[in-house]
Chains A and B, each alone.
Chain A
Amino acid sequence: MHSSDWLQLAIYMAALLAITKPMGLYLMQVLDANGRTWLDPVLRPLERLTYRVMGVDRAQEHGWRQYTFAMLLFSLVSCVFTYAILRLQHLLPFNPQGLGPLSPDLAFNTAVSFTTNTNWQSYGGEGTMSYLSQMVALTIHNFASAAVGIAIAAALVRAIARHSMATLGNFWVDLVRTTYYLLLPLCLVFAVVLVSQGMIQNFNGYTKAKLTEPYTIQVPKLDDKGQPVTTNAPVLVQAPKLDAAGKPVLANGVAIMLDVPKLDEKGQPMTTNLPVMVDQVVDEQVIAQGPMASQVAIKMLGTNGGGFTNANAAHPFENPTPLSNFLQMLSIFAIGSGLTYYLGRMTKNQAHGWSVWGAMMAMFLAGVLVCWWAEARGNSIHQALGLVAGDGNMEGKEVRFGIFNSSLFAAITTAASCGAVNAMHDSFTAIGGLVPLFNIELGEVVVGGVGAGLYGMLVFVVLAVFIAGLMVGRTPEYLGKKIGAYEVKMAMLALLVLTLSILGFSAWALVSQWGVAGLNNAGPHGLSEILYAFSSATGNNGSAFAGLTANTPWYNVTLGLAMLIGRFLMIVPIMALAGSLVRKKISPPSAGTFPVSGGTFILLLVGTVLLIGALNFLPALALGPVVEHFLTAQGKLF
Chain B
Amino acid sequence: MKTFLSELRGAVMVTLALAVVTCGLYPLAVWGIAQAAFRDKANGSLIVEHGVVRGSRLLAQAFTGEKYFHPRPSAAGANGYDATSSGGSNFGPTSQKLNDAIKDRIATYRTENGLKEGAPVPADAVTASASGLDPHISPANAEVQIARVAKARNLPVAKVRELITANTATADFGIFGDAGVNVLELNLALDRL
In the bound complex, do residue B93 and residue A400 qualify as a contact, i.e. CB atoms below 8 Å apart? no
When distances are taken between beta carbons in the complex, the residues of chain B under 8 Å from A206 are 84
Given A143-B18, A399-B72, is A394 in contact with B124 using a C-beta cutoff of 8 Å? yes
Provide the B94-118 mask, 1 if CB < 8 A to any CB of A, else 0: 1110110011001000100000001
Check if A547 is an interface residue, CB within 8 A of chain B. Answer: yes
Q: Which of A16-24, A30-38, A241-249, A421-429 contacts B (4 or more CB under 8 A)?
A: A421-429
Provide the A368-408 mask, 1 if CB < 8 A to any CB of B, else 0: 00000000001101100111110111111111111001100
How near does chain B come to A52, taking the closest CB pair, in angstroms? 9
Nearest-neighbor residue (CB-CB) of A137 within chain B: B23
Which residue of B26, B58, B61, B79 contacts A198 across the interface (Cβ within 8 Å)?
B58
In addition to A70-B11, A126-B86, A423-B130, 16 A-B residue pairs with Cβ atoms within 8 Å of each other are: A11-B175, A135-B23, A192-B34, A200-B44, A210-B54, A212-B54, A213-B63, A309-B131, A320-B45, A386-B110, A388-B121, A398-B130, A398-B131, A402-B178, A520-B90, A637-B95
Check if B154 is an interface residue, CB within 8 A of chain A. Answer: no
27 pairs, CB–CB < 8 Å, chain A vs chain B: A11-B175, A55-B6, A70-B7, A77-B12, A124-B85, A139-B27, A140-B23, A179-B18, A188-B26, A192-B30, A197-B41, A200-B42, A202-B44, A209-B46, A212-B63, A213-B64, A215-B79, A217-B79, A291-B31, A298-B22, A387-B102, A396-B127, A398-B131, A399-B138, A399-B180, A424-B130, A430-B94
When distances are taken between beta carbons in the complex, the residues of chain B under 8 Å from A315 are 86, 131, 133
In the bound complex, do residue B87 and residue A546 qualify as a contact, i.e. CB atoms below 8 Å apart? yes
In the bound complex, do residue A316 and residue B94 qualify as a contact, i.e. CB atoms below 8 Å apart? no
Check if B163 is an interface residue, CB within 8 A of chain A. Answer: no
Nearest-neighbor residue (CB-CB) of A291 within chain B: B27
Give the number of chain B interface residues (Cβ < 8 Å).
108
How near does chain B come to A114, taking the closest CB pair, in angstroms? 12
When distances are taken between beta carbons in the complex, the residues of chain B under 8 Å from A388 are 120-123, 140
List residues 300-353 of chain A with CB under 8 A from any CB of chain B: 309-311, 314-317, 320-323, 325-326
When distances are taken between beta carbons in the complex, the residues of chain B under 8 Å from A423 are 130
In the bound complex, do residue B9 and residue A426 qualify as a contact, i.e. CB atoms below 8 Å apart? no
In the bound complex, do residue B14 and residue A175 qualify as a contact, i.e. CB atoms below 8 Å apart? yes
When distances are taken between beta carbons in the complex, the residues of chain A under 8 Å from B85 are 124, 126-127, 310
Given A81-B15, A381-B93, A398-B130, is A387 in contact with B8 using a C-beta cutoff of 8 Å? no
In the bound complex, do residue B177 and residue A210 qualify as a contact, i.e. CB atoms below 8 Å apart? no
Which residue of A55, A143, A207, A289 contacts B22 across the interface (Cβ within 8 Å)?
A143
When distances are taken between beta carbons in the complex, the residues of chain B under 8 Å from A188 are 26, 29-30
In the bound complex, do residue A378 and residue B123 qualify as a contact, i.e. CB atoms below 8 Å apart? yes
In the bound complex, do residue B90 and residue A311 qualify as a contact, i.e. CB atoms below 8 Å apart? no
In the bound complex, do residue B120 and residue A213 qualify as a contact, i.e. CB atoms below 8 Å apart? no
List residues 53-75 of chain B with CB under 8 A from any CB of chain A: 53-59, 61-65, 68, 72
